[in-house]
Every structure is written in C-alpha cells, then in structure tokens.
Amino acid sequence: MQLEFTSLKSMQQLKSLSDIFEKTLFRIPDYQRGYAWREKQLIEFWEDIMTLNNERLHYTGVLSLNKVDNEIWKNWNDEEWLISKRKFIPYFVVDGQQRLTTSVIFIQSLIELIKSFPTNKGKTDTDIFLGTYTLNEIIERYIVVCQPPNNIIKSYKFGYEKDNPSFEFLRHKVFNEPAAGIIEETFYTLNLEEAKLFFCENLKAYVKEKGEDAIEDIFEKLTQRLMFNVYEIDKHFDVFVAFETMNNRGKQLSDLELLKNRLIYLTTLYSTNEVKENEKIKVRDLINSAWKEVYYHLGKNKHSPLNDNDFLRAHWIMYFKYSRQKGNDYIRFLLDEQFNPKTVLEKIIVNNSNICEVNEIYDENELDEEEKKEEEIAIECAKLNINDISQYVLSLKDASKYWYISHFPITEEITKEESVWLDKLNRIGISYFRPLILSSFVNKACTEKHRVELFKAIERFIFLVFRINKTSSSWRSSDYLRAAKSLYWDEININDVINWLNNDLYWLFDENTSSFNYIGFYELMSKKFKSEGSGFYGWNAIRYFLYEYEESLIPNNRSHKIHWNDFKNYGDLISIEHILPLTDDNEYWKKMFKSESKKQKEYCKGSLGNLLSLSISINSSLQNSSFPNKKKILKNEKGKTIRNGYENGSYSEQQVARYDNWDYSTIKERGLMLLEFMEKRWGIKFESEDIKLKLLHLDIK
C-alpha cells in the first residue's frame, strides 16, 4: 500500500519538543504496538544529544498525528476537563511513538535526577529551577497536569489508550504515581523500565563527570534542538493504511503488529447493511483484548520474551495451511489473501437459508403465471465474513496461552506429567513439532493423558531419528506440520498422530530380530572419533543424554543436584568432565593405561563411559588430577573447600565414586551400563555386546 502524502497536513515545517507539547495531549491508539526500543536505539538517541553542537539543530524524524474525535475524548474521564476547559488538543500518534516515548522518559529521568541534588532537598517543585523553568512548569508541559483545586485528577500529556498495561506501567513505574497495586508486566513494559534505567544511570554518570550545571544544557538540547516534521493526517484519510505504511520505517513492525492493524481496518470496511456499527465496535474490542492477551503471554517471561512472528507462523500452520515455502509465506497469505481489503469489498450473492420454505395449498388454475414463479431470496455479502475474523482472533487469543506453556511448562495450568515431558522436549530440541503440540492443547478433545503420550512419542522420535542418526532435520516435517492443522480441525484424532510417530520408526529396526539398526549411530560417532577426535563429547545430544541419565538416578523425594540451565550453559570441560583427562601426564594415568595402545587410550577419553555430568563448576587446574583425588573433597591450607569431589557431587558422580580405580575396564563397564540405560529409556535393543563395544569404540586395538 502506498501512502498518499497529499492527505497529510503539515502543522509546521519543523517543531521542537517544546513546541509539540504546547497545549496538546498524545495517546498511542489501540492498534499500535507497545514501546519497542532496546539498547541499540537508546544508545543512538543518547549519542545524538551528547554530540549535538549547541549552535545546531538535529533532525529527529517524522511525527504523524491523527486528531481524536470528540465522541472519543469525551469519554476520557481524566483528560476531558483539560480538553474542554483549557482547549488542549488530543492526538493519536500514528508514527513517531518510539521517539516520543523515549523523549518523555528522558525528561522524567532528568526531573528525578534534579530532585535528588542535595541543594534541592526539602524544596517543592515550584522552588526548584532548571534554567529559567521551575520543575513544576516542566512537569506540567511534558508529563502530567493535575486538575485544581483538589489535584485528584491527573491528566498525563503522553500515554496509551484505554486498558493498555503499558499505560499503567508508565504512570506508576516510570512517572512514579503512587498506589500502583498489581501491574501487569510484559515485554513492552520491560522496555519502558530498561529505558528509564538507561537514562537514569547515564545522566548520573554525566553529572558526576560534568557537574550539576550540565543538566541545563542537556535539557535545552532535548526540548529545543531536536526537531520533528509534524504532520496531521486528514480525518478523511484512512489512518490504518497510514499506520501500516509509516511504521515500516526504522524498527519495523512485527508481522503480528501489522496483522492487528489490518484486522481493525477491515472492520471499518463492512457496510452497515452487513454489519451494524455496534457489532463493528464489538469485534474491534475483541481484537484489542485478544492482542492484549497475546502480547501478555509472549512477554510473560520478560527476560526471555517469545518471538511474535514465530507464534504467528505456528498458528497459521495450525489454523490455515502449511507450505514448503520459506520466509514470509505465512504473513503474505494472511495479509495478501485471507485478510485483504478485497475480501471484504468483493461481494458475493448467497441464498438466505434462514427463511423457511412454506408450501401452501392452492388451486393453480386461480393463479397467473407471474404468481407461480418461485421467488429467489438472496443477499449480497462480503467474501470474508466478519464472523471469520472473530473466530480467527479468538483462536489466536486461546493459542497464545498454550504457546507460552509449550516454551515454559512449569505452570499450574497443566499437569505435572505434561510439564515433565514438555520440559524434556524443550531440552532435546523440539524441532518442527511445536505447532502440533499447540494443536494438542487447543483441541479440547485431547485429554492430558493423550498429550503425555503424544509428547513421549515425539521425544522418542526426535532422539532416535535426529540424535542418534544422521537424518536430515526436515525429514517428515511436511507431514507433521500438516497434521497440526488436521488435529486442530478434528480431521484426525491424537491417537492417529501417535501411531504415525511410532510407525515412522520402522526403518530403524531389523524386521526379523526387532533389534535396533545401529549403523547410523555408529557412523555418526565414528566421524566424531576419527575426524574430530572428540568422540561422544562431540555428540550433539550428549548433554541431554547425560542429564536424562542423571535424572534416572534421583531417589524418590530427593532434589536435583544438576539444573538444566546451568548444565547446558557451562562452557567446555565444566559441565561435562572427561574422567580420564584429555591431558593425561599424571603418573596415575600412565600406570592405569600402560597396557593400552596410544590409539586405544585416546578412544577411551572420548568414549561414552568416560564422560561425567558435574553438579558444580570444576577448577580447570584440578581436571588432570588422579582418579582418587577427583573423588575426594579438596581443601586449601586454611581448610576452605576448593572443589567438591565426586563423592559429594551429582548422583552420577556419586555412582562413579564407588569405583576404586579408573581404567579401560571401568570405562567399558560404565559405557555398557549407559547403553543399557539408552535401550530401556528409548525402547530399543542392540543386538549384542559386541555391537555395543563397537558403538563405544572400545574394540579398537
């Protein structure tokens, strides 16, 4: 869509922030996203001000505004008096939200810093000055105006439209309005919080270096020398098209944000013959509430927010279709095909099936030919029904909760067993199965028991196909992505999918003996031993496998000694130890392996039985110690523990500590034991011990 700039009215060629905030109110409309600037954009904004010459102006960008209609602002309880009595003009911000929000947070940070100066202790806002302005004047121009005489009503100069959690956060956590109560936090509120922290810290550091008087210079640059092109969008111009076009500059809108705007826009296109105005409002409210919940779940874990577009694509696969195309095929379908204005404006003729047929008894001789003609009752309606929009929006809303659960399954909303198996799937790498998992939650016919069986089948499929074989990571992906849609629409049931997952493993088993075909696993490991020299340590599933083994050793009602996030994030040789060390110049190791060839000894280092999951960080200087020393707790001269030994480590370490010595035979014994665990855990059977030794690469002489 192209934006016709003839439909924009320039309010003035260039305006400073001080000019912009003169007798105006700004609100971020409901179709906009929240505050999206992160560290990169904040640093650039800060540097623009710091490097700005006092004799020059800095062009900051475009600010596109849409004047708020009377019928809307008259319902704004906190702002109505300021608009009607003091003639402030309310605007929706169509483009420029990020820069405007950042400027306001910057000013609030300045205000708080000035109040903290020892020279201002005990003073009121009317007694504190920044240049020629009192602090009260600055607050009223840029932040908030209180309605006299009681000052109960607080009218914020900048904020968000109704029912937006970002506005509550902005008021109470950024502008410090008291009596906050419980405030909903999202990824966008985290951005607001971090922006304020960024400016507070940098301003403090700047004042420490330059002195308190330097603040006046910063304030003058910010409010007088940052210049905006300000445009008011004509009321006859389509503001939704403007928003969609303009906001594709800079930090681009996510596909989810574009879609929200598009759906709201489509509700305005239906004729009143098709959809009544109150129905349009109802659907628009539904869209807003749905997106509020979607963004809540996507940003619920504010330190690890979920990607908007990943969720939208997964839902598209589940709801509409899957295509083999890559990239942006899903959003092109949603915007160009499914939710395109043409699908609303294009009318089709449909029979009105709501009218019952009534057969009257009559003497046909008494009727003329004209009366005998069957009356065709038909209506004209949009190709895309507004109910289709509502159904889709409700589906997105419902799915967002389960999308979060699929990533962070430690929640009371699912059973403990579901949580356990989802956690395993996230650890092993969920591959292309997340849309299918999403369907299993959204489809109400699927029970908790069904889902656990599905999760188990998926985990086994991933381990056997992708972790101990060299199978392409996209193998069978099309089938199971399509299955997500079929399960969602009840075209198949969950037991069908479970059976497919199990039956698709047929090629991994010998049809005569039912033993596991080890060749793929052997070839995978052989490459690790021969070309890379790492052996099982280079296996991409080694951490997952050893963690699963550790969990199998935990006694009932005992706590974990290893936590996955620590285990997976520790660097090399810290979370997994080579018991026989890579550097084996200790006399103990020379003695233990004097009968083995150099090649066999090297293969022992990378063999599965020689690798041990550790519960704590190990001092690298001790990793080459003898086995007896590794088992014991090591202390310094003052009696302080330097490192816990295996005897006080993970359950896997404690098991290893029971051995008296560590040599070829113990590596072999433990390796066979770990492969037996693999057989039991993933329901496979290796044909013989000789094949297991071959897999372990301990048959090398």
pLDDT digits (tens, 9 = 90+) for 539-583: 999 999 999 999 999 998 788 888 888 777 655 445 888 999 988
pLDDT in tens, 393-438: 999 999 999 999 999 998 889 999 999 999 999 999 999 999 999 9
Nearest to 388, CA basis, from 449, 285, 319: 319
**Six-digit token string for 294:** 């979607």
Phi-psi region at 89: left, alpha or beta (left = phi > 0; alpha = psi -120 to 50): beta
- What pLDDT does 1 receive? 36
- What pLDDT does 374 receive? 42
Is residue 575 within 8 A of residue 652, CB to CB? The reply is no
- What pLDDT does 355 receive? 41
Residue 370 has pLDDT above 70, yes or no: no
**Six-digit token string for 373:** 């003609």
Residue 618 has pLDDT above 60, yes or no: no
Q: How far is CA 267 from the centre of its chain?
A: 28
**Mean pLDDT computed over every residue of the chain:** 86
Average the pLDDT over 632-651 and give the result: 79
Is residue 535 within 8 A of residue 524, CB to CB? The reply is no
Q: Give, for 351, the enclosing helix (H) or strand (E).
A: strand 347-351
- What pLDDT does 350 receive? 55
What is the reported pTM? 0.76
Is residue 229 within 8 A of residue 13, CB to CB? The reply is yes
> How many residues are listed for the chain in this entry?
701
- What pLDDT does 325 receive? 61
Per-residue pLDDT band at 376 (split at 50, 70, 90): very low
**Three-class DSSP category at 63:** strand
Orientation angle between helical segments 277-298 and 308-319, nearest 10 degrees: 120
- What pLDDT does 697 receive? 95
Residue with tokens 């939710």: 339
Phi-psi region at 87: left, alpha or beta (left = phi > 0; alpha = psi -120 to 50): left
- What pLDDT does 304 receive? 87
**Residues contacting residue 296 through CB under 8 Å, at least 6 positions apart:** 165, 184, 186, 400
Per-residue pLDDT band at 295 (split at 50, 70, 90): confident
**Residues contacting residue 3 through CB under 8 Å, at least 6 positions apart:** 241, 242, 245, 246
Average the pLDDT over 146-152 and give the result: 91
Q: What's the CA gap between 158 and 198, in Å, rounded?
A: 20
Per-residue pLDDT band at 536 (split at 50, 70, 90): very high
Bond from prior residue into 149 cis (ω within 30 degrees of 0):
yes
Q: What's the CA gap between 520 and 524, in Å, rounded?
A: 6
pLDDT in tens, 478-511: 999 999 999 999 999 999 999 999 999 999 999 8
Average the pLDDT over 149-173 and give the result: 88
Average the pLDDT over 518-536 and give the result: 92
First to last CA, the chain: 71
Q: What's the CA gap between 316 and 49, in Å, rounded?
A: 43
Is residue 8 within 8 A of residue 67, CB to CB? The reply is no
**Six-digit token string for 327:** 């990239």
**Residue 240: other Cβ atoms inside 10 A:** 22
Return the minimum-mean-pLDDT range out of 176-180, 452-456, 532-536. 176-180
Q: What's the CA gap between 437 and 431, in Å, rounded?
A: 11
Query: In degrees rounded to 5, what are phi and psi of residue 689?
Result: -65, -35
Per-residue pLDDT band at 148 (split at 50, 70, 90): very high
